[in-house]
Amino acid sequence: MDGRGVGRLIGVLAVAMLGALPARADEFVNILTGGTSGVYYPMGVAISKIIGEKVPGTRPSVQATKASVENLVLLQQGKGEIAFSLGDSVVFAWQGNEEAGFKNKLGKLRGLAAIYPNYIQVVASKGSGIRTLADLKGKRLSVGAPKSGTELNARAILQGAGLSYADLGKVEYLPFSESVELMKNRQLDATLQSAGLGVSSLRDLATAVDIVVVEIPPAVVDKVGQPYVKAVIPAGTYTGQDKAVETAAVVNFLVTRADLSDDAVFAMTKAIFDNLPELQAAHSAAKEITLEGALKGMPIPVHPGAAKYFAGKGVSQ
């Protein structure tokens, strides 16, 4: 074989070898949510579907977790790309509040968007005799998983009402679905759940036992202060709830990592906010997500990729 033949053969082999190289791996996007009976999880599944369809070269996954505090710690460790979290947990993480479950300041966190408010929903069985927050004294209450966002909310609201865990008959640190099962079995008097309206766990409870949705009075919300705001659980949100009930709410945020590229975060933000109807179809709580409110109250620096998307839509902090 002459030199030209050898050259052609080398060229053919080179092309063949290039063709055999694996395609560029998809970018993993792990979405950190909460328990499967809450709102974070179904909404995370919807976001995963949207990103998978609208952002080429991504491989989204959804991880069920203990929610806010765990999500932010995992994000700091590089074990997720998008995390759901309550606003007060984000503040504590940025400060490095050890009592709230953060041994150090989580400096890699960056804001992606404000989403919907979590309503602090205190629900008791009618047979427990609980009608007010003061009636919780001596009763059995589930306050969410230890140092979860819900449990941090429980501490704050009880303190605002002049109560502490020591005033309760028994404190259970359980996820939403397990709390409901104990209430059905009369092993628990009440549950405090921080979630979007119509959360499946409380809908399930209300169809199984007669419930009372306990008011969190405006004066208590004022005493607790920011980031809590006054809110109302509309009549008919749950079976047997025939009157609107005043309560407290705190905004949820989607959080990402500082080391993700601007292009990646821009694409994910665009996919989510260009497809809000799909999120709303996944859970009614998503109806409160708006483009206009996406940066409202953001307690940490916004990721430049998200900021670029919102700037293009005329939205700023």
Asked whether the beta carbons of 260 and 305 are under 8 A apart, the reply is yes
Q: Which domain holds residue 62?
A: 27-116+252-312
Q: What global pTM score does this model have?
A: 0.81
**Is residue 19 one of the residues assigned to a domain?**
no
- Point out the residues of the chain with pLDDT beneath 70: 1-25
Mean pLDDT of the chain: 92
Helix-then-strand count for the chain, H and E = 11, 10
Domain total of the chain: 2
Asked which of 250, 265, 293 is the last residue of a domain, the reply is: 250
pLDDT of residue 147: 79
Residue 14 has what pLDDT?
44
Q: What is the pLDDT of residue 265?
A: 98
Question: What pLDDT was estimated at residue 109?
Answer: 98
State whether residue 106 is helix, strand or coil: coil
Domain boundary among 208, 235, 250: 250
Asked if residue 149 lies in contact with residue 67, where contact means CB atoms within 8 angstroms, the answer is: yes
Considering the domain architecture, whether residues 157 and 231 belong to the same structural domain is answered as yes
Same domain, 243 and 300: no
pLDDT at position 9 is 45
